[in-house]
């Protein structure tokens, strides 16, 4: 693999797990089998390297999701699919999840806007169409953000479940979790 991408992969892993400040250029260099000064042949400085990491990890994240939106199945099944695929993505690509959550914690307007547009906007728009069909009257923004919340948090909290009451092994199973999240959301959309 080219050096450039190898650096990005190593750096993404480190930044995701330790955060921007806790990772040094020497750490990234070591993980990339380089010395620190070599990094500066590929990136202007540490900040530019971090930003490139974000773009690298956030890229093409919606390929699987788009397949769900394009499928010719009922809106109910599409909603179930969006939740399943998103949850699986967060579980499989922890760097993706962690970098999103670290960006959310930064509380920087510009970076929040980038995150919203780069990672969330497309999926939100498609999801809104589904929800409009399932329940025109519902608060779609609240439902979409609630789905984001549940998908992120139920993966994040996995290592903590053993310390909370009634946590069982099924709560680590993403199929079980996505069923539960789907039901929680779906019943809101039905006429009461």
Partner DNA sequence: GTCTATAGGCGGATAGAC
Partner DNA sequence: GTCTATCCGCCTATAGAC
Please report, as ranges, the residues that interact with DNA according to CB under 7 A.
3, 23-27, 29, 33-38, 40-42, 44-47
Residue 5: how many other CB atoms lie within 10 Å: 11
Residue 45: left (phi > 0), alpha (psi -120 to 50), or beta?
beta
Greatest distance between any 2 Cα atoms in the chain: 63
> What is the smallest separation between the CB atom of 17 and DNA, expressed in angstroms?
15
Which one of DNA, a second copy, none interacts with residue 3, CB within 5 to 8 A by kind?
DNA
25 binds, among DNA, a second copy, none (CB under 5 to 8 A by kind): DNA
Please state, in angstroms and as integers, the Cα–Cα distance from residue 190 to each residue in 15, 178, 181, following that order: 42, 18, 15
Nearer to DNA (CB atom), residue 3 or residue 146: 3
Under the rule (CB under 8 A), what is the footprint of a second copy? 17, 19, 21-22, 98, 101-102, 104-105, 107, 109, 112-113, 115-117, 120-121, 124-125, 128, 139-142, 144-146, 148-150, 152-154, 156-157, 159-161, 163-168, 171, 177, 180-181, 183-185, 187-188, 192
Which partner, a second copy, DNA, none, binds residue 12 by CB below 5 to 8 Å per kind? Answer: none
| Three-state DSSP state, 86 | helix
Which of a second copy, DNA, none sits in contact with 26, Cβ below 5 to 8 A by type? DNA
Identify which of residues 25 and 144 has a Cβ nearer to DNA in the complex: 25
Give the chain's count of helices (H) and strands (E): 11, 0
Q: Say if residue 84 is exposed, middle or buried (CB neighbours under 10 Å; 0-12, 13-18, 19+).
A: buried
Give residue 159's Cα distance to chain centre. 18
Which residues neighbour 81 within 8 Å (Cβ) at sequence distance 6 or greater? Answer: 68, 71, 73
- CB count within 10 Å of CB 68 equals 23
**Residue closer to DNA, measured from CB, 37 or 159:** 37
Residue 191 interacts with, from DNA, a second copy, none (CB under 5-8 Å by kind): none
> Which residue's CB is nearer to a second copy, number 16 or number 42?
16
């Amino acid at each position: 693999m080219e050096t450039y991408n190898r650096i990005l992969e190593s750096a993404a892993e480190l930044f995701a797990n330790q955060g921007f400040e806790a990772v040094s250029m020497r750490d990234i260099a070591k993980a990339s089998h380089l010395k620190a000064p070599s990094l500066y042949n590929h990136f202007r400085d540490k900040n530019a390297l971090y930003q490139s990491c974000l773009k690298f990890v956030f890229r093409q994240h919606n390929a699987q999701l788009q397949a769900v939106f394009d499928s010719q199945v009922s809106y109910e099944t599409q909603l179930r699919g969006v939740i399943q695929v998103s949850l699986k993505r967060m579980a499989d690509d922890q760097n993706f999840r962690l970098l999103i959550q670290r960006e959310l914690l930064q509380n920087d307007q510009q970076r929040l806007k980038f995150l919203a547009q780069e990672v969330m906007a497309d999926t939100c728009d498609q999801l809104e169409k589904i929800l409009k069909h399932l329940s025109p009257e519902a608060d779609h923004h609240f439902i979409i953000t609630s789905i984001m919340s549940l998908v992120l948090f139920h993966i994040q909290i996995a290592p903590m479940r053993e310390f909370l009451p009634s946590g069982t092994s099924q709560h680590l199973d993403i199929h079980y979790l996505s069923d539960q999240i789907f039901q929680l959301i779906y019943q809101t959309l039905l006429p009461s």
